[in-house]
């Protein structure tokens, strides 16, 4: 709402200035009437600016909201499973968290990876890394060349992100 106020105030001021200067130039009108009219125009201008800013705000709202910050989520406990621990090392050493967040909680740059195991099978995840999607490319996700061991561990780790 602050944004729409910021937008509407200057628009209203400009509208009032334009209309009043036009009215001053209009000849043969009583000052009282002019003042009254000015009041009415100012109100109209404010209403118009308000409507416009609502429209602008409305447009803003239609764009997808940024991913919810999930910083409040507790950091995942150190994994007990050695394969998962190995996978976490792969995750951390390849800066996955730079885009996907610490523990894969997601950032505005890339979606959360928590729950990814429910979305993709291990085979599908492996295929994703070997054949990144257009969205992954567009978002600058590197084409990683994992060894089979790294891949297995990484997928076990991703699977463990609930």
Alpha-carbon distance 35 to 20, whole Å? 9
Q: How far is the CB of 78 from ligand HEC (least distance, A)?
A: 18
Interface region with ligand HEC, contact rule CB under 6 A, candidates 42-50, 51-59, 71-79, 133-141: 133-141
Any contact of residue 83 with ligand HEC (CB under 6 A)?
no
Any contact of residue 113 with ligand HEC (CB under 6 A)?
yes
Any contact of residue 95 with ligand HEC (CB under 6 A)?
yes
Which string of b and e fits 66-89 if b means at least 16 CB within 10 Å? eeeeeeeeeebeebeeebbebbbe
Q: How far is the CB of 146 from ligand HEC (least distance, A)?
A: 8
Q: How many CB atoms lie within 10 A of CB 159?
A: 18
Per-residue DSSP letter, 120: S
Any contact of residue 105 with ligand HEC (CB under 6 A)?
no
Interface region with ligand HEC, contact rule CB under 6 A, candidates 27-35, 37-45, 57-65, 141-149: 141-149
Any contact of residue 108 with ligand HEC (CB under 6 A)?
no
Partners of 110 in the beta sheet? 107
Alpha-carbon distance 79 to 68, whole Å? 25
H/E segment holding residue 137:
helix 134-138
Task: Measure the N-to-C terminal CA separation of the chain; round to a whole number of Å.
Answer: 36
Q: How far is the CB of 66 from ligand HEC (least distance, A)?
A: 13
Q: How far is the CB of 69 from ligand HEC (least distance, A)?
A: 17
Nearer to ligand HEC, 45 or 154 (CB): 154
Nearer to ligand HEC, 14 or 127 (CB): 127
């Amino acid at each position: 709402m602050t944004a729409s106020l910021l937008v509407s105030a200057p628009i209203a001021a400009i509208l009032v200035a334009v209309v009043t200067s036009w009215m001053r130039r209009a000849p043969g009108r009583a000052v009282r009437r002019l003042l009254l009219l000015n009041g009415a125009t100012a109100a109209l201008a404010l209403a118009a600016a308000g409507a416009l800013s609502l429209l602008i705000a409305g447009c803003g709202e239609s764009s997808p909201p940024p991913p919810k910050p999930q910083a409040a989520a507790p950091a995942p406990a150190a994994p007990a499973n050695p394969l998962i621990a190995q996978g976490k090392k792969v995750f951390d050493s390849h800066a996955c968290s730079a885009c996907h967040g610490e523990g894969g909680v997601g950032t505005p740059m890339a979606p959360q990876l928590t729950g990814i195991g429910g979305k993709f099978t291990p085979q599908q995840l492996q295929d994703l890394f070997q054949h990144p999607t257009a969205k992954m490319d567009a978002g600058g996700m590197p084409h990683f060349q994992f060894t089979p061991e790294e891949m297995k561990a990484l997928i076990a780790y991703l699977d463990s992100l609930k």
